[in-house]
Amino acid sequence: VQLQASGGGLVQAGGSLRLSCAGTEHSFSRYTMAWFRQAPGKEREFVASISWGNGRTVYADSVKGRFTVSRDNTQKKLYLQMDSLKPEDTADYYCAAQSAGSITSPNYGYWGQGTQVTVSS
């Protein structure tokens, strides 16, 4: 699965951004998809995921209520709507795909390149 993330940028605190991730695999709909992020000097951390079967979503506590993950299997796209952004959301954001495994662990088999999000105070 090849993935390409886009949509990052510079935004003021309280603003919104929408990240997109385009997949190329014809079986895109059979993968659990997720967003992770990595701030400078920190480890990569789980942000949100959406399962392939029932579309169940899981969020990190730090983004719950502010971020929304969704997918369009017909278009082979994954989205992350980020609202009420905070300076601590500043990081490189990565999309990832896997067919099985822990949802929140960064052991996904397929990764897109990062897209940078910077939130100014």
Residue 52 near residue 110, CB atoms below 8 Å: no
Q: Name the pLDDT band for 102 (thresholds 50, 70, 90).
A: confident
Model pLDDT, residue 27: 77
Q: What does the alpha-carbon distance between residue 97 and residue 33 come to, in Å, rounded to a whole number?
A: 5
**Cα 11 versus chain centre, distance:** 17
CA–CA dist 95, 2 (Å, integer): 10
Per-residue model confidence as pLDDT tens digits over 24-40: 877 788 899 999 999 99
108 — pLDDT class (breaks 50, 70, 90):
very high
Which DSSP string corresponds to 21-45?
A: EEE--TTGGGSEEEEEEE-TTS--E
Q: Write out pLDDT tens, residues 38-91.
A: 999 999 999 999 998 788 999 999 999 999 999 999 999 999 999 999 999 999
